[in-house]
Structure 1
Amino acid sequence: MAVMKFFIVPLILIAFMSHLCESFELERKDFESEKSLMQLYKRWSSHHRISRNANEMHKRFKVFKDNAKQVFKKNQMGKSLKLKLNQFADMSDDEFRSIHSSNITHYKNLHAKTIGRVGGFMYEHAKEIPSSIDWRKKGAVNAIKDQGRCGSCWAFAAVAAVESIHQIKTNELVSLSEQEVVDCDYKDGGCRGGHYNSAFEFIMENDGVTAEDNYPYFEGDGYCRRRGGYKERVTIDGYENVPRNNEHALMKAVAHQPVAVAIASGGFDFKFYGQGMFTEENFCGYNIDHTVVVVGYGTDEDGDYWIIRNQYGTQWGMNGYMKMQRGARNPQGVCGMAMQPAYPVKY
Structure 2
Amino acid sequence: MVWENNMRYIEQHNLEYSMGKHTFTVGMNQFGDLTNEEFNELVSGMVQIDADNLTAPEVDERDEINEGEAVDWRKKGLVTPVKNQQQCRASWAFSALGAVEGQWAKTYGRLVSLSEQSLIDCDKGNGGCRGGLLARAFRYLIRRRGINSAEAYPYTGQVGFCRHHRTKIVARIINCKRIREGEINLAKAVRDVGPISVVIYSGLKTFQFYEQ
In 2, Cα distance between equivalents of 1:103 and 1:166: 24
Residue 66 of structure 1 corresponds to: 5
Of residues 166, 177, 184, the one that matches 1:248 is 184
Of residues 82, 92, 101, the one that matches 2:35 is 92
The yes-or-no answer on 1:151 pairing with 2:89 is yes
Residue 157 of structure 2 corresponds to: 219
Higher strand share: 1
Residue 15 of structure 2 corresponds to: 76
SS of the equivalent of 1:233 reads strand
How well do the aligned residues superpose, as a CA RMSD in angstroms? 2.3
- Return 5+ residue gaps in structure 2 as ranges: 58-62
Q: How does 1:162-311 map to 2 (within 5 A)?
A: 162-226=100-164, 228-244=165-181, 246-255=182-191, 256-275=193-212
- Return 5+ residue gaps in structure 1 as ranges: 1-61, 121-125, 276-347
SS of the equivalent of 2:167 reads coil
The alpha-carbon deviation at position 81 of structure 1 amounts to 1.1
Higher RCO (C-alpha 8 Å, min separation 6): 2
In 1, Cα distance between equivalents of 2:167 and 2:11: 49
The alpha-carbon deviation at position 173 of structure 1 amounts to 0.4
**TM-score, normalised via structure 1 length:** 0.54
In 1, Cα distance between equivalents of 2:41 and 2:95: 19
Contact 1:103 1:193 in 2 (8 A): yes
In 2, Cα distance between equivalents of 1:220 and 1:251: 34
Residue 325 of structure 1 corresponds to: none
Contact 1:207 1:233 in 2 (8 A): no
Contact 2:145 2:174 in 1 (8 A): no
Residue 101 of structure 1 corresponds to: 44
Q: Give the structure with higher Rg (CA).
A: 1
**TM-score, normalised via structure 2 length:** 0.87
Identity percentage of aligned residues: 34
Contact 2:31 2:39 in 1 (8 A): yes
